[in-house]
Chains A and B, each alone.
Chain A
Amino acid sequence: METQLHGGFGQGLVKGLSVTLRTMLHRSVTVQYPHVRPDLPARSRGVIALKQENCTVCYKCSRECPDWCIYIDAHKETHEPAGGGRARSAKILDRFAIDYALCMYCGICVEACPFDALFWSREFDYAEYDIHELTHEKERLEEWTYTVLPPPPLEVGAEASEEGRA
């Protein structure tokens, strides 16, 4: 089973050079990144987008985050219904921020969100010179929603789970 060297000395080098020569005649696979943007798959975990109007401030994402990089502040507002009756209280989102310097891009928050407020976007080029700017506040997170792609169709043989798609 062992690979042995055949032939005289130098034959392996010639064979190696033939591989190099063959590659030389092929087209290069290098992508000239800043000029050509990569076409990433729809599932790529690039940045998390927040759709504020779907958020009910349940804190599930911030609790499930493995390194607790989601910051949420909210206050309660009570409304007197116009037609009378018991006053209703609702949580209003004051702050929703994700610290991308801490984020591990695991996607647990997107999975845990019960109201479809968080989505993955495949955008990735949001590097900053200052680490504090990596904390994206809710306005910036909202902007990412315009780059969110619909989930790709599933492979043949896949069965939609009874709980729907995560």
Chain B
Amino acid sequence: MSDTDVRPAFQSSDLMNMVRGGGVDIVPAGEFATEEMILNIGPQHPSTHGVLRIVVELDGEVITRAEPVIGYMHRGAEKLAEFRDARQTLVLMNRHDWLSAFNNELGWTIAVERLAEIEVPDRAQWIRTMFAEFNRIMNHLVFMGSYPLELGAMTPIFYSFREREMVQDLVESATGARMHHSFARVGGLKDDLPRGFLKRAGEVLVALRRLLKDYDQLIMGNEIVFKRCRDVGPIHPSIAVAYGCSGPTLQSTGVAMDPRKDTPYEKYGEVEFEVPVGARGDSYDRLWVLVQRVRQSCDIIEQCLDRLPAGPYRTGGLLNKAIKIPEGEIYVRTENPLGVQGYYVVGNGKKEPYRLKMRTASFSNISVLPSILPGTLVPDLIAILGSIFFVVGDVDK
């Protein structure tokens, strides 16, 4: 199908013209008018990390309309899950948002556990909470490095990836993988921690806190970053809520919505932490919230390390048994690094879920773009796009 075909999804709106590359206005004779230009940004573009395509209508350098076109990375994770049992689906859940693998698998296992009424030992819950936060830090460090890179600053990515490597090494020593951990299991964890993990984790925390101090000096206090991001792409709280934004994108507007606080899962109800909120909802606030969230994650991990109890790491009698997902339905929402991750699972007594619906953070977050981009400049588009913090695999599932 060529791009100029009329696609049903666009028939109902005048966006059709835009996608077709139309937009030629009829100008009355004798009058001057500027013709709007259609610009395709992406699907392959160095400044959009991943295959996200944005069609923008330009009046000079000012964006008059913008529409993200998604689906280039659709892998059908929901459908694939209908043919795989809980443990096999875990592998898929690792991959739709590859930067928050553990958080994804955590949400999925919690959904199955609640539906099948499986108790999880205390120790496993503490370790899971800790790993979810480690994964959050790993995720945020990528964006803390790549966002300045998109703005044109080369240096920060080296710092953030240097510290990320430490976290990754630590997590790898326990899970065996750097990205797709597959460490959570229904009823607990795959394995217990290796010896020396807690000590190393403490050392990593010290290094991370040092990085955050450096980061404040290098990025947050940098005049160029400040001028480039302050008041660029502000989102009004009501708009953010209406579009279902979550995570840093929502918290930067001043709305302190966080499932870790609102509907605590695992051990989040027992640890103390704050939900950082911004004031203006602009690009600078989004980055600021991201950095503050890493600080909070460090605090949570510290509490996990202190309070980790002895005990089993998984519920007995479940090893190597395919869990039957009982009849019923459940919706579990967890706080992923990028926002709220929801799993809606319908079971029918078989090993495979009857239906799985994923509510992914990035998908809702980028849906706000058409409402905030009009009126901004093309160079600012990059600053806004980068500050929304999304993973394309999470958008397209």
Where the two chains meet, the residues of A that have a C-beta atom closer than 8 Å to any C-beta of B are 1-3, 5-6, 9-13, 15-16, 18-20, 23, 29, 40-45, 64-66, 104-108, 111-112, 114, 120, 152-159, 161-163, 165-166
If the complex has contacts A12-B226, A15-B217, A66-B88, are A43 and B173 also in contact, measured as CB distance less than 8 A? Answer: yes
Which residues on the B side are within 8 Å of A18 (C-beta)? Answer: 217
Contact partners of A154 in chain B: CB under 8 A: 192-195
Q: Are B155 and A12 in contact (CB under 8 A)?
A: no
Asked whether A3 lies within 8 Å of B195 as measured between CB atoms, the reply is no
**Residue B159 interfacial (CB < 8 Å):** yes
A161 with B319, Cβ < 8 A, contacts A66-B91, A155-B196 known: yes
Out of B88, B196, B316, name the residue touching A108 (CB < 8 Å): B88
Residue in chain A with minimal CB distance to B192:
A158
Bound Cα distance A158, B169 (Å): 21
Residues of chain B within 8 A (CB-CB) of A157 are 123, 308-311
- B220 at interface, CB cutoff 8 A: yes
B194 and A155 form a contact (CB under 8 A): yes
A5 adjacent to B316 (CB under 8 Å): no
Q: Which residues of A contact B44 (CB under 8 A)?
A: none
Closest A-B pairs by Cβ, 8 of them: A157-B310, A158-B192, A43-B176, A66-B88, A155-B193, A41-B173, A152-B194, A12-B221
CB within 8 Å of A: which B73-94 residues: 84, 87-92, 94
Chain A, interface SS category: loop
User: In the complex, what residues of A have CB within 8 A of residue B317's CB?
Assistant: 163
In chain B, positions 219-277 with a C-beta closer than 8 Å to chain A are 219-224, 226, 276-277
Q: Is the CB of B195 within 8 A of A156?
A: yes
A45–B89 CA distance with the chains assembled, in angstroms: 19
Within 8 A of A (CB), among B182-198: 182, 190-198
Count residues on chain B whose CB falls below 8 Å from chain A CBs: 60
Q: Is the pair A2, B278 in contact by a Cβ cutoff of 8 Å?
A: yes
With beta carbons under 8 angstroms apart, the residue of A1, A23, A152, A158 that contacts B159 is A23
A-B contact pairs, 25 of them (CB 8 A): A1-B279, A2-B285, A3-B216, A3-B220, A5-B226, A12-B217, A12-B221, A13-B222, A15-B217, A16-B155, A43-B173, A104-B95, A106-B90, A108-B87, A108-B88, A111-B320, A154-B192, A154-B194, A155-B195, A156-B195, A157-B309, A158-B310, A161-B319, A163-B316, A166-B319
Our pick among A5, A106, A152, A159 for the contact of B182 (Cβ within 8 Å) is A106
**A9 CA to B221 CA, complexed, in Å:** 10
A153 close to B310 (CB less than 8 A): no
Q: Which of B91, B190, B222 contacts A16 (CB 8 A)?
A: B222
Is A29 a contact partner of B162 (Cβ separation < 8 A)? yes
Chain A hits for B216, CB < 8 A: 3
B217 touching A43 by the CB < 8 A rule? no
Give bound CA distance, A45 to B220, whole Å. Answer: 38
- With the chains together, A15 CA to B217 CA distance in Å? 6
Question: Which residues of B sit under 8 angstroms from A152, Cβ to Cβ?
Answer: 173, 194-195
CB contacts (< 8 Å) of A161 on chain B: these are 312-314, 316, 319
Q: Which residue of A lies closest to B320 (CB)?
A: A112
> Once bound together, how far apart are the Cα atoms of A44 and B170, in whole Å?
11
Chain A residues with CB under 8 A of B312: 159, 161
